[in-house]
Amino acid sequence: MTIREGIEEREYLNLSPLACKSKDSKRKFKEEPCDFRTDFQRDRDRIIHSKAFRRLKHKTQVYIAPGDHYRMRMTHSLEVAQIARTIARGLNLNEDLTEAAALGHDVGHTPFGHVGEDAMKEILGHFRHNEQSLRVVEYLEQNGEGLNLTNEVKDAILNHSGRNLPSTLEGKIVRISDRIAYLCHDYDDGIRAGRLTPNMLPKDVAEVFGIRPSKMITAMVSDMILTSSGKNDIILSESVQKSMDEFRNFMFETIYHAKDLEIERKKAAYVIHTLYEYFFSHPDKLPEDFRKRENEWGLALTVADYIAGLTDLFAIKTFEDIFIPSTMFGD
């Protein structure tokens, strides 16, 4: 018996009957199994070692070009994975599937966070970061070959956001953990930025969750484990769900849609629009590996893939290199 086979056997013995079992997973292209890792563990490793995941360290979470201590998209993904694994462990579900999906859920995010996503939507007519995350792992990574992830991980990545729910309990954990992470940690960064104070929280939110991010996360995670235990669903209690919705509305009003941040949002959107127009008009300026994809995907989607993959810093640098003269006047 290999180490992997031993792990797979213990999953059947120890995990909940409702848990996904790695031995039952399926991939688009069949592969020889690893002697040491389950399929979900291999998926986790492929995501961590991907270029798209590395780029997340320089992609906006909320604040564009923040200081040293603010979250970026990578730290958000790591925090989602930590929260999701805690819940999966508490419910005796598959931690490896949960972790892989949590780490990969945002690999399709644009530069400048949801501002970039909205700009791409304006350009293309339809663009969603969850769909782009699936596109990244399915087609764009590994020079167009994709990562060949399991169907269960891909389903959780695609459906962590949007109208459709994940097909697995582990995927549903990631979906709610994403919200827990961004609400609590964006609130924390809002305090760090001097934009929020604890006494600004709605009274019901402070009473149910407390005012410290760590206590907020503990309250939500504990409630989800207790409420979902033994059920074929991942849910929060009615009172906690109501308070979370109120917390989310508060964050949209004070941070995500704050009027005084509109100028910065417009600047970021302008960079996205302008870069897209430039590369659409000058496809010869795209990197060679993207130029090769034009025949398969068409120019519009090829340019969108390139722009969506840029980090904040590289998008700004590219914009400056193209549109800002290095010297204003000659000698």
Domains and CATH numbers, the chain: 39-260 (1.10.3210.10)
Write out the two tokens for 308. Answer: 């969506």
- Taking the C-alpha atoms of residue 232 and residue 228, their distance in angstroms, rounded to an integer, is 8
Q: What pLDDT is stored for residue 63 in this prediction? A: 75
Q: What pLDDT is stored for residue 61 in this prediction? A: 87
pTM for the model: 0.96
Q: What pLDDT is stored for residue 198 in this prediction? A: 97
Q: What pLDDT is stored for residue 329 in this prediction? A: 52
Is 308 in contact with 154 (CB distance < 8 Å)?
no
Q: What pLDDT is stored for residue 24 in this prediction? A: 97
Q: What pLDDT is stored for residue 330 in this prediction? A: 53
Contacts of residue 303, defined as CB under 8 A and 6 or more positions apart, other chains included, come to 276, 279, 280, 283, 286
Q: What pLDDT is stored for residue 325 in this prediction? A: 81
Residues of the chain with pLDDT under 50: none
